[in-house]
Structure 1
Amino acid sequence: MATLLSGIRHFPGYLDRPAQENLVELIRRIVIEAPLYVPVMPGTGKPMSVRMTNCGSLGWVTDKERGYRYQSTHPATGRAWPDIPAELMELWQKLAGYSKPPEACLVNFYSDDAKMGLHQDKDETEFSAPVLSISLGNSCLFRVGGLDRKDPTGSFKLQSGDIVLLGGEGRLAYHGVDRIYPGTSTLLKNGGRINLTLRRVNS
């Protein structure tokens, strides 16, 4: 496996089962207010294999015409995003090591055949703040590399309750999800995986 860049940390099993179940219930409430939708790639309009929504003062969105960006409203409903739950704010305070709170929490739902290609989280203006990623549901194969798309990559499994921090030198590391492992968790009744990504957008 490629050596992880400094600032990338994996916290396996950080959340116990009750904490995971509580987060799933909170996400269900968020999805009622801000429904999951299928984002599309800039330019081509090709749909992604994940469904997504957001909570926080800002949400990450993408469409064919305007591309990747943050905005304060849901692209389908036009309503403001729901607030980030206190439980997620507390995780940020404990693990992020950053003085300001997150402004966005991207909620990605992966069906058992979904994946996410290698990419950088670089649509923010504040790169000194880390990205905090929380896994719920079925395990996935997480791939992470360096600061150039051509750098060597390595993969490791993320299980339900795991947390990954991308900070420091590793804040802009290329990363992605190669596959989901069906049947590896009973957390979500219908299978799949939820990934919560807390981000500070502005300085």
Structure 2
Amino acid sequence: MDVELFPRARTEVTPGAVHVPDWLDLERQRELLTACREWARPPAGLRTVRTPGGSTMTARQVCLGWHWYPYAYARTVVDGDGAPVKPFPAWLGELGRRAVADALGPGAATAAAYDIALINFYDAGARMGMHRDSDEKCDAPVVSLSLGDTCVFRFGNTEARTRPYTDIELRSGDLFVFGGPSRSAYHGVPRVHPGTAPPELGLTGRLNITLRVSGL
């Protein structure tokens, strides 16, 4: 990638919500991509999520630790092949705690252990509507890691899906953490920019790894 005239800076979007560009180096991105490809294999692999109303999400998903389905958690893929959810690795939880400390400061790192990963795969036409991460029983910060294509990440307010919101460009390797007063903010992905992934990564599309503490 060409050197930018003005390097991207760490930004506090709203209190408790911080964007840290280039948090993952290329080697770490490759390691995560290799892990994601393994997690995506069946059983309990990558699936299309269907809402109670019958519509489908355009981003496909695989879960670790706890299986999320609209709008609850289970230990098996109740809306898929019924297999037990894949385990949540300890190293991924440690990565989450380090992400929170780097983004929000050492005092923000939660004593609770991260035990959920939602991994969403976006192809060129995929998007994610505005929503809140509200099915957990713990208000520990949410950690979001991006791999592959650049996306527009829309981070809103805690009251409604509408404005005010801020659009942030998330590139491969970027970290976004939101907790505290921003923990229940609406957020979504209105578009992905195809063909923008680092060629060295070998990924077509975008992967988002979201880490949460279930409190279950």
- Length-normalised TM-score, structure 2: 0.84
Q: Partner amino acid for 1:71? A: A
How far the C-alpha of 1:88 sits from its partner, in A, is: 1.8
The answer to which of 76-85 and 116-125 deviates more is: 76-85
Count of residues in correspondence between the two structures: 193
Contact 2:153 2:188 in 1 (8 A): yes
- 2:209 corresponds to which letter in structure 1? L
Match of 2:50 in 1: 40
Partner amino acid, structure 2, of 1:17: L
Q: 1:39-188 to 2 correspondence within 5 Å?
A: 39-42=49-52, 44-56=53-65, 58-62=66-70, 68-75=71-78, 76-96=80-100, 97-127=109-139, 129-149=140-160, 150-185=162-197, 186=199
TM-aligned CA deviation for residue 77 of structure 1? 2.5
State the identity as a percent. Answer: 37
Segments of 5+ residues of structure 2 without an aligned counterpart are 1-11, 101-108
Q: Which amino acid aligns with 1:199?
A: R
- Compare 4-13 and 164-173 and name the one that shifted more: 4-13
Find the counterpart in structure 1 of residue 211 from structure 2. 198
| CA–CA distance in structure 2, aligned partners of residues 182 and 20 of structure 1 | 18
The Cα of 1:189 is off from its aligned counterpart by: 4.1
Deviation string for 1:77-124 (max 9, x for gaps)? Answer: 222222223442221121231111112100111111111111111111
The CA distance in 2 between the partners of 1:18 and 1:82, in whole Å, is 24
RMSD over aligned Cα atoms: 1.6
Q: Deviations over 1:107-152 (max 9, x none)?
A: 111111111111111111112x011011011000001111111341
TM-score (norm 1): 0.89
Q: Which letter does structure 2 place at the counterpart of 1:166?
A: F
Q: Secondary structure of the equivalent of 2:33?
A: helix
Q: Relative to 1, partners in 2 of residues 1:15 and 1:102: Cα closer, same or farther, differing over 3 Å?
A: same
1:65 alignment partner in structure 2: none
Alignment partners' CA distance in 2, 1:55 and 1:138: 22
Report deviation, 1:188.
5.8
| Contact kept in structure 1, 2:26 and 2:201, CA below 8 Å | no
Does 148-157 or 188-197 show the bigger shift? 188-197
